[in-house]
Each structure stands twice: as C-alpha cells, then as structure tokens.
C-alpha cells in the first residue's frame, strides 16, 4: 500500500518541480483532485500547497525549494475554519441541546480519527506529497498527517472560495456523520466514561501525567499516561494535553474493560 501511495504521488508530481509556477503537483493531479472534492479552485497552487507535507520539501532541490510552501499555515487556518463551521452547524441543528453535549458532538466530528477517515474517503492519500521517511512511518503518524491535510484543504477552500463554499464542502463530507455519531453514542467522552467506571469498580480516581512532549511549538505532540495509583494503565498521544488524555482514557477502556469507543471524541 505504501509503495502504491508513493507511486501515485510521484505520478502526480511535476517532472521538473517549479515548471508550473508554484505548483508541486502537475495539472493532471490538480484537475483530478478538484473533480473528487467537487470544487474548482481559482488558484490551484493553494490546493497543491494543502497536499504538500513539510518533509517533502527536503527532497526538492535547494535552489527551487524557496518557491514552494508546505501545508502547515493552511492547516492552522483550516483548523479555525473547521471549528467555527462545525460549531455554527451544531448550534443551529440542535437548539435544545446544552453546551457540554454540543462540545462532545463537535469533538466526535473533528477528532483525528474522524478527519483522517474523511480525508481517506476523499482519496487525499493518493495526492499527498511526503518524504520517503514519512511514507514508511507508523500508522498513527500517517493518521495525523491525513488529519492535518484535511484541515489544510479546508483552509485552502476558505481562502480560494470563501466560508460559504467551505461550509457546503463540510456539509457533503463531514456533517453527514452526525446522525451516526449520535445514534451510536460515539460522542461519549472517553475520559469521563473511564472515570465513572473506575470509581465504581476500583474505588479509585485515575490520574494523568505528561510522559513526553515532542515537536515544534506549532506541531507539538503530547504523550500522556493514565495511572491507577502508581500503575501505568495506558498511554495516549495528542496535539494538546486534553486530546492526549482522551486518547489514553480510550485505550485504557479497551485494555482494562474491553470497551471500544469507535471514533470517540479525542
């Protein structure tokens, strides 16, 4: 699978990087991707940028590297657009639902697993430009890369076509999940769920400790451990301590009690 992805990425790469302005992807790739997502970009370079991982620029000749941008700035913007669009949608869809539950609904929609799955269904994997090292990386890292690429795509759509088109795009690819999430109670907060079970069965309160911090200020990743007293029960990763705690609680639920929260709100 990884070899196939690399072959596709190579197929969609400019034969001479930089021969088409600021696009690293060739015209065929950009046309196919716009067809897949149902949006015609006024500035296709934004689409190319959204699907270019920082690591890939290390494989572009130094004399040409400064012409191109990786997707981290678009990811930063897209994350904010996504949060506003989802919050607005849920606020209007569920007028009688309290803030806490709306927050859980939103978390279930925009967590790493949900966004990575959405990106995968759109076929973004086939168009991502990554270094060889990232292509061979662990599945968890790939899931994070897909999540970031989806956020960058949302940011690119927002800049190119505006908030209205970005929202329509999210209606088609993301908001369609909400009924399934609610019906399957996939919005349950793993940390709260775990604490209730532990207090009831073990008569203790689990606590969380930061085990490791890695990455840059913009791309920081936290590893959190959840403990029963001195015993480490499970570890979780996330872009924030809160997200890592939720991931640790989700893993602890499965490990200790066999409870699997699919697409749980991380």
Catalytic residues: 79, 151
Q: Where is the domain boundary, 154, 183, 212?
A: 183
Query: In this predicted structure, which of 55-59, 83-87, 142-146, 200-204 has the lowest mean pLDDT?
Result: 55-59
Residue 50 lies in a domain: yes
Q: Are residue 150 and residue 246 in the same domain, yes or no?
A: no
Domain count, the chain: 2
* Structural domain of 200: 190-257
Q: Are residue 147 and residue 26 in the same domain, yes or no?
A: yes
Residue 123 lies in a domain: yes
Residue 70 lies in a domain: yes
Q: Are residue 110 and residue 19 in the same domain, yes or no?
A: yes
Q: Is the pLDDT of residue 64 over 50?
A: yes
Residue 225 lies in a domain: yes
Q: Binning pLDDT at 50, 70 and 90, where does residue 136 land?
A: low
Q: Are residue 227 and residue 112 in the same domain, yes or no?
A: no
Task: Find the CATH number of the domain harbouring 87.
Answer: 1.10.1520.10
Predicted pLDDT at 138 = 60
Q: Is the pLDDT of residue 132 over 50?
A: yes
Q: Where is the domain boundary, 183, 202, 226?
A: 183
Q: Are residue 55 and residue 144 in the same domain, yes or no?
A: yes
Query: In this predicted structure, which of 20-34, 78-92, 211-225 has the lowest mean pLDDT?
Result: 20-34
Q: What is the pLDDT of residues 167-214, one digit of tens each?
A: 999 999 999 999 998 887 778 778 988 988 898 898 899 999 999 999
Residue 215 lies in a domain: yes
Give mean pLDDT, residues 88-108.
Answer: 94
Q: Where is the domain boundary, 151, 167, 183?
A: 183
What mean pLDDT value characterizes the chain? 86
Give mean pLDDT, residues 77-97.
Answer: 97
Q: Binning pLDDT at 50, 70 and 90, where does residue 225 land?
A: very high
Three-state DSSP string of the chain: CHHHHHHHHHHCECCCCCCCCCCCECHHHHHHHHHHHCCCCCCHHHHHHHCECHHHHHHCCHHHHCCCCCCHHHHHHHHHHHHHHHHHHHHHHCCCCCHHHHHHHHHHHHCHHHHHHHHHHHCHHHCCECCHHHHCCCHHHHHHHHHHHHHHHHHHHHHHHCHHHHHHHHHHHCHHHHHHHHHCCCCCCHHHHHHHHHHHHCCCCCEEEEEEEECCCCCCEEEEEEEECCEEEEEEEECCHHHHHHHHHHHHHHHHHCCCCCCCCC
């Amino acid at each position: 699978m990884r070899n196939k992805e690399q072959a596709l990425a190579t197929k969609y790469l400019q034969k001479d990087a930089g021969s088409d302005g600021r696009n690293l992807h060739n015209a065929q790739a950009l046309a196919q991707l716009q067809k897949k997502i149902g949006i015609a970009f006024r500035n296709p370079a934004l689409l190319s940028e959204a699907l270019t991982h920082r690591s890939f620029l290390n494989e572009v000749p130094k004399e040409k590297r400064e012409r191109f941008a990786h997707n981290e700035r678009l990811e930063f913007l897209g994350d904010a657009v996504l949060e506003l669009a989802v919050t607005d949608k849920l606020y209007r869809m569920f007028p009688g639902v309290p803030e806490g539950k709306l927050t859980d609904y939103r978390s279930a929609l925009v967590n790493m697993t949900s966004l990575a799955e959405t990106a995968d269904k759109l076929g973004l994997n086939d168009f991502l430009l990554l270094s060889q090292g990232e292509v061979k990386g662990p599945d968890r890292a790939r899931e994070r890369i897909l999540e970031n690429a989806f956020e960058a795509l949302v940011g690119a759509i927002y800049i190119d076509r505006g908030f209205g088109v970005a929202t329509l795009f999210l209606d088609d690819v993301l908001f369609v999940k909400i009924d399934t999430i609610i019906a399957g109670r996939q919005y349950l907060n793993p940390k709260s769920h775990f604490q209730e079970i532990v207090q009831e069965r073990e008569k203790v309160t689990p606590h969380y400790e930061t085990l490791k911090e890695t990455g840059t200020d913009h791309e920081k990743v936290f590893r959190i451990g959840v403990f029963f007293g001195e015993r480490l029960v499970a570890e979780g990763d996330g872009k924030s301590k809160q997200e890592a705690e939720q991931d640790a609680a989700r893993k602890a639920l499965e490990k200790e009690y066999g409870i699997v929260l699919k697409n749980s709100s991380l």
